A and B are shown apart, each in its own frame.
Chain A
Amino acid sequence: MSNWLAETLAVFAKDWKSEARNLYALNTLALFAITTLVLVSVGLGPMGVDAAGAQVLPFLLWIVLLFATSAGLPRAFVQEEETHTATALRLAARPSAVFWGKLAFSLSLTWGLEILVAPLFLAMVQLDVAAPGQFIAALAAGGFGLAAASTVIAAIIAQARGRSTLFAVLSFPILIPLLLLVVELTRDAVGGFDSGAVLRQLLLYDGTVAVAGAMLFPAIWNP
């Protein structure tokens, strides 16, 4: 196993270990996601929405996911600054290993949240998905883009003041293209329409953000 991969995996394992030591953050995050979900579902009423209204449901699903992840993902870097461990991490691992390790942590957290939230959402709002494969692809690719963009923004805001509010402000313009693409893809999956072109564009967005993030990260991370 190469040094780089070992360092990346060590960063990933460290993050999960420190979260597992204190389940408070993970529990809060899961509860936050479920609360948002319940709120949306209650807001729609006991009858749910009619066929025309179903158009808005994929959008609501992604709003719930966006809120839940934006509550949890900034932790990846904010935690390092708050506990004053960022300098030790800078010494222990090269920047690219920190970036990909943190990205892997954010990605596992996002996918975990999606596994928790998406089935509950489908059940609560009584939404049938015509193309489940495409729906899962939308969740996976959308989750990756969300995690990648959030990792870069989290690294930026961790070094600024007013971190919690700043994250939402900075991530919004970067995440809009992702949100529009992934909602389109989810809507097509629910309706059973083929949308290979949208999936390719979403994957291209994911690749762009990940590559741009990896290239920019040394400048963001090293003081």
Chain B
Amino acid sequence: MTTSPVNTPAIEPAAKPAGWKTFLAWLLWGWLGLVIGAAFLWVPAQAAGFQNPVAYRILFFHVPTAWVSFLAFLAAGVWSVLYLARGRARRHDVAAAVAVELGLAYCVLATLTGSVWSRIEWGAFWNWDPRQTSIVIALVFYAAYLVLRGAIEDDHARGRLAAAYAVLGLAVAPFLYFVLPRMMPYSLHPEPVVNAEASIDMENRMLMVLLAGAVGFTALFFWMHNLALRSRLLAERLEEEAQL
């Protein structure tokens, strides 16, 4: 980075966030509070098809985290493509890196909650079912991406090499979708909520809480992403100004 402080606007000292941003943040917290409350109080106490009628409530946490870890992977790929295709803006590179870091955290949470639930429902923490396999590969990919970033010192080199790696990962990931179900046809995971026949096979209240949870977690991901991205860029600018 060679921009001089003359060209960049000075950092606003403790700028107050815009009113609508505060409103959105409170809306998000309210929404998530409602989802958590509903997951305990509103959904049916006995769910058909689950061994343990109480532990199934982890579903409302596990499925949205798994969904967000997939979404973060996709988002990191899109930001990497933007970085390579649109003039190598530092913002896109940091955005992809932050998405991977958050994706890794969500991935770990999805794996842990899944294992705990798997132990209660099926009696074993792990059994290499297609989704467990793909989440392990996602974990390894995220970790490899971060290791690569750590191994390159120059900002520009790190940006283009990490972006190229992320795009390559995005290009080969769909093959797992073909190969894993064929190798492990005995998935213990239920059909997706909206399955191939486009029929919805879930009790209404459960489905509503699950979808509301997915929406809430998606918003939470983008909110966390936005915060981390801005603080990372500001920290870089401060460091630059300190050096000058």
Contact = CB atoms under 8 A, between A and B. Distances in A.
A173 B179 contact: no
Contacts of B137: 173, 176
A181 B160 contact: no
B183 A180 contact: yes
- Size band of the B side of the interface? 20 to 34
A153 B164 CA distance: 9
Interface in B179-194: 179-180, 182-183
Prevailing SS type, chain A contact patch: helix
A208 B152 contact: no
A162 B151 contact: yes
B162 to A, nearest CB: 9
A177 B179 CA distance: 7
Contacts, number: 92
Contacts of B157: 159, 223
A184 B185 CA distance: 14
A219 B164 contact: yes
B208 to A, nearest CB: 36
Interface of A: 149, 152-153, 156-157, 159-162, 166, 169-170, 172-174, 176-178, 180-181, 184, 201, 204-205, 208-209, 212-213, 216, 219-220, 223
22 contacts: A152-B168, A153-B165, A157-B151, A159-B157, A160-B161, A161-B151, A166-B148, A166-B151, A169-B143, A169-B148, A170-B147, A172-B140, A172-B144, A174-B168, A178-B175, A180-B176, A181-B179, A184-B179, A184-B182, A201-B178, A212-B168, A220-B161
8 closest A-B pairs by beta carbon, nearest first, are: A177-B175, A173-B141, A160-B151, A212-B171, A216-B164, A161-B151, A180-B179, A160-B152
